[in-house]
Amino acid sequence: MSSVADRSDARASNSPTSVADVTARMAAIIGDAQEARELIALTLDRPRYWPLLAAAEELDVGDAAALLAAASTRAAGAPMQYAAGHAWFRDLTLEVDARVLIPRPETELLVDLVLEATAGEPGGVAVDVGTGSGAIALSLAAEGHFDRVIATDVSLDALDVARRNAVRAATDARVVFRHGALLSPVPERQVRAVVSNPPYISFDEAVELPDSVRDWEPAVALYAGRNGLAITTDLVRQAAPVLRGGGVLALEVDVRRAATVAEYVAAQGAYENVRVVLDLTGRERFVVATRREDRE
């Protein structure tokens, strides 16, 4: 006579677990076959086209169950990345959950701006303020030529996620994580770059956000006072004594307030070559400046 465990094993082995079968079941839950395939690829950290090419392959029962659970989470309204537990950023696959902001494609360009500005000379320190998942800091550590990258965040939960991603990306030895607001945990001076994607949405603009952002992503990473400018302007002031002469300040900003931020940076008197940089859709997304060489 077969045992209950034997019968359970038999049912598990007979359940449809091919990629095609699981895709169909997920599509029924989500209501979108293309989205189901994308969710499979993101959850399993495979190329986007993999679910189509591997349609006949059998999935591990545990992976199949995890994918169906991800589909249910997505159907409940969670962003794709939270449902999958992963987000793609440049060459990295990052673990993400509701403790951290989902890294956006436009922020990848912010990394490019820092790498370009610091390409001529190896070494030195870069600081990523408000690191969240660690996306910017880990990309700078992996692709740049810094001796060290310091990543700060006011959220201990976010730092926990970022540290896990540092181990995952095998760059943990070059990245130092510190808890605190903005540059308060950075006593270092003469750093080569200060970069940040800070909270920049005004509290009264929350109603304009998509539900997937407003209802799921952490408020501490989204909103700032003084019409969304409080954290950005504080960081601009704090960065001046930290940066060395010729060091770069690179900020992601609200497209509606890029000119205002650029004017504020220029008015400090500590920076030069202040410019607004467009993102890939042509929107004013970044403000970049150089610390004056005659720094006090």
Query: How many domains is the chain built from?
Result: 2
Residues 102 and 243 placed together within one structural domain of the fold: yes
CB count in 10 Å sphere of residue 84:
27
- Considering the domain architecture, whether residues 218 and 100 belong to the same structural domain is answered as yes
Closest to 102 measured CA to CA, from 149, 42, 51: 42
DSSP letter string, 107-170:
HHHHHHHHHHHTTTS--SEEEEES-TTTHHHHHHHHHS--SEEEEEES-HHHHHHHHHHHHHHT
Residue 296 domain-assigned (yes or no)? no
Q: Does any domain span residue 82?
A: no
What are the tens digits of pLDDT across the range 194-251? 999 999 999 999 999 999 899 999 999 999 999 999 999 999 999 999 999 999 999 9
pLDDT at 146 over 90: yes
Q: What angle do CA 245, 249, 255 make, to 5 degrees?
A: 155
What's the CA gap between 220 and 208, in Å, rounded? 17
Question: Which of 268, 272, 261 lies closest to 232 in space, CA to CA?
Answer: 261
Whether 278 is in a domain gets the answer yes
Q: What is the pLDDT of residues 8-26, one digit of tens each?
A: 343 334 456 899 999 999 9
pLDDT at 170: 83
Mean pLDDT (whole number) for 23-50: 95
Range of the domain at 257: 89-291
Greater confidence (14 vs 135) lies with 135
Do residues 54 and 112 both lie within one domain? Answer: no
Query: Alpha-carbon Rg of the chain, whole angstroms?
Result: 22
Residue 207 and residue 181 share a domain:
yes
